Amino acid sequence: MSATSAIAGTQLLATEDLSAYYGERKALGDVSIGFRRKAVTAVIGPSGCGKTTLLRCLNRIHEVAFDARVEGRVLLEGQDIYVSGVDPMSIRRRIGMVFQRPNPFPTLSILDNALACAPRGLSRQGRLDVAERALRSAALWDEVKDKLRTSPLRLSGGQQQRLCIARAVAAEPEVLLMDEPTASLDPIATAVIEELMDSLTDTFTIVAVTHNMQQAARVSDVTAFMLADEHGVGRLIEMDDTAKLFTKPSDHRTEDYITGRFG
Amino acid sequence: MTVGALRYRRLKQRRVFGSLGTALALLCSVLAAGSLLAILGYVVVQGVSAINWNFLTQLPHPIGVPGGGVGNGILGTFIIIGIATAMAVPIGLLTGIYLALFGRGPIPEALRFLSDVLSGVPSIAIGLFAYAVLVAPLKHFSALSASFAFMMLMLPLLVRTSEQAIRSVPQTVREGALALGMSNFRATVRIVLPTARPAIITALLLAIARVTGETAPLLFTAFGSQYWEANPNNPMAVLALQVFNYAISPYPDWQAQAWAGAFLLVVAVFILSLGARLMLRRAMRGLDS
């Protein structure tokens, strides 16, 4: 307990005994984890280990699925975001999310996608400024500045994903959750996104799920390893500085996983 | 070696069965498409000669007076379908949204079941119902009662297809909107509905096409009229009804006009279906990503 409070200052977001269910099925069990401020935390583990579910609990998007529920606590700046009276919409504005597959809004232009959750009532110029800032921080501005009013569906997959990052960044969240953001992208687009993640940590606390260990090693400061137990419940096995976890893991299961013995 | 021989024999057999199957499927397709083309061709041949400007714009003439048209029936068709659409779209769309977004549990299941039942009710029964609730108590026929009947015919189609259209919007798009902190309402109105719009419009066009040729419910609702009538509270001429009345009349003049009216209805349905197809293509393109 004292350990938790000792590091609370550097942790923007943390969970305590977090469990998540889909109906009767427990997908995530008793996870207590803290995410360091303005750092990239990678969550790795084989398919079905609950890493995506963990991520989806952090911005209360988990509960959108039918029959889904959560037990335990998620603390944002020490405040439990699951107590009654907390508006999930305001939480999602503070904790943005980028999904596994690029999901730009198909009927909105590139500009309107970037502005999808920008404050209303801005002037025309104000809107353009917000959009430009967001698109620049997603390293997309130069590629789309001449076609802001066209459909995002004509962009490449990597560009679409950066548009989704811009869209999330425009809301000026504190945390950015990324659910395998490069899983559907080619190596070059992946490299661009990874570079971007690095520059985004100047502003944001990033939690990224990946099943690509090289990626975790490349982009993250801290890595958490998850594994499903014999009942299929996702558990946090260990969490450490990325360099340490990949060289001297303290749990043999972590070592088995990163050396490729399973998963 | 025996394996090779066996393979070869089977291949031959497959080829024979394959071409037999293809031939049979082709024959059935020709029968299906051919009968449709035959109907269309017959209607065109019989109907097109009586189509002229007067036919489209004039009132019917009394028996024995040559010429005359179905202008009032065309107007009536537009008015009755217009009112029916105005009533059916909000109800059908909102029900579809409700089913798509909150569609679990006994109440939505019951709604779906009722909607399916309603779509199977014969149109004449729906016409009778409209008669019972809107004509008999008010003691006069009216275009409004016909619109009411048409609305009941359009509703099940709109409900189920708009539900499907909204459901076919990828969950990731909806979650993307919610993850940005949009409310459920805003995500639906601003993101989900526009994505589903082409498919919803397709459904609407098909629903309109469905009622355009309906005649049975009009017999005891709109009833028909010899005059220009734009007041929905009064009996009104409708094209499909005129076709029916002219077709069963003993006068060759009127019978020719019935064919011409049928031709107009076929053209209208054709255009609506074509529009629906074009919209559907757009819908598919929009969801491709």
Which CATH number do you get for residue A75?
A: 3.40.50.300
pLDDT value of position A3: 42
Which residues are within 8 A (CB) of B169 and not within 5 positions of it... i.e. 6 or more apart? B192, B195, B196, B287
Q: In what order do the strands lie in the sheet with A40-44?
A: A79-80, A68-76, A11-22, A25-36, A234-241, A222-228, A40-44, A205-209, A175-179, A95-98
pLDDT value of position A7: 47
Shortest CA gap A33–chain B (Å): 22
pLDDT value of position B102: 84
Task: With beta carbons under 8 A apart, name residues in chain A contacting B172.
Answer: 99, 101, 103
Give Cα separations from A106 to B104, B172, B195 (angstroms).
27, 11, 7
Give dist(CA A208, CA A42) in Å, integer.
5
Give dist(CA B142, CA B236) in Å, integer.
7
Give dist(CA A2, CA A8) in Å, integer.
10
- Asked if B131 contacts B224 with a C-beta cutoff of 8 angstroms, the reply is no
A34 pairs with which residues across the strands?
A14
Give dist(CA B13, CA B6) in Å, integer.
11
Which residues are within 8 A (CB) of A260 and not within 5 positions of it... i.e. 6 or more apart? none
Name the residue facing B195 among A66, A101, A107 (closest C-beta): A107
A263 located within any domain = no
Give dist(CA A148, CA A131) in Å, integer.
10
- The H-or-E segment that residue A177 falls in is strand A175-179
Name the residue facing B195 among A96, A106, A116 (closest C-beta): A106
B287/A105 Cβ within 8 A = no
Shortest CA gap A32–chain B (Å): 23
pLDDT value of position B289: 41
Task: With beta carbons under 8 A apart, name residues in chain A contacting B289.
Answer: 102, 104, 106, 153, 160
Buried b (16+ CB within 10 A) or exposed e, B261-285: bbbbbbbbbeebeebbeebbeebee
The residue type found at B268 is A
A207 pairs with which residues across the strands?
A41, A177
Domain count for chain A, please give it.
1
Give Cα separations from A164 to A205, B34, B177, B178, B255 (angstroms).
17, 51, 11, 13, 63
A105/B179 Cβ within 8 A = no
- Asked if B262 contacts B243 with a C-beta cutoff of 8 angstroms, the reply is yes
Name the residue facing A61 among B179, B183, B197 (closest C-beta): B179
Chain A positions touching chain B (beta carbons under 8 Å): 59, 61, 64, 66, 89-93, 96-97, 99, 101-108, 116-117, 153, 160, 164, 167-168, 171
Q: What tens-digit pLDDT sequence spans chain B (289 residues)?
A: 555 555 666 788 888 999 999 999 999 999 999 998 999 999 999 999 888 999 999 999 888 788 888 999 999 999 999 999 999 999 999 999 999 988 888 999 999 999 999 999 999 999 999 999 999 999 999 999 999 999 999 999 999 999 999 998 888 899 999 999 998 888 999 999 998 988 899 899 999 999 998 999 999 999 999 999 999 999 999 999 999 999 999 988 889 999 999 999 999 999 999 998 888 887 776 554 4
Mutation site, A91, A105, A169, A176, interface B, largest B CB count within 10 A: A105
pLDDT value of position B257: 92
Name the residue facing B176 among A59, A91, A99 (closest C-beta): A99
List the one residue out of A201, A200, A207 whose CA is nearest residue A222.
Answer: A207
Mutation site, B101, B104, B167, B289, interface A, largest A CB count within 10 A: B289
pTM score of the predicted model: 0.79
Q: What angle do CA A255, A258, A259 make, to 5 degrees?
A: 80
List the one residue out of A237, A214, A203 whose CA is nearest residue A54.
Answer: A237
Task: With beta carbons under 8 A apart, name residues in chain B contacting A105.
Answer: 173, 176-177, 191, 195
- Asked if B59 contacts B236 with a C-beta cutoff of 8 angstroms, the reply is no
- Residue-averaged pLDDT of chain A: 90
The residue type found at A142 is D
Task: Please tell us whether the domain made up of B55-287 is placed in CATH 1.10.3720.10.
Answer: yes
Hey, where are the domains in chain B? 2-50, 55-287
Give Cα separations from A76 to A122, A204, A222, B279 (angstroms).
29, 14, 18, 46
In terms of residue numbers, what domain contains A96? 2-258
pLDDT above 80 (res A263)? no
Per-residue pLDDT band for A174 (boundaries 50, 70, 90) equals: very high
Three-state DSSP state, B117: helix
Which residues are within 8 A (CB) of A80 and not within 5 positions of it... i.e. 6 or more apart? A73, A74, A86
pLDDT above 70 (res A132)? yes
Per-residue pLDDT band for A6 (boundaries 50, 70, 90) equals: very low
pLDDT value of position A185: 86
A9-47 confidence digits (pLDDT tens): 568 899 999 999 999 999 999 999 999 999 999 999 998
Residue ranges of E strands in chain B: none
A28 located within any domain = yes
Q: What angle do CA A161, A55, B171 make, to 5 degrees?
A: 55
- Asked if A221 contacts A36 with a C-beta cutoff of 8 angstroms, the reply is yes
Shortest CA gap A248–chain B (Å): 36
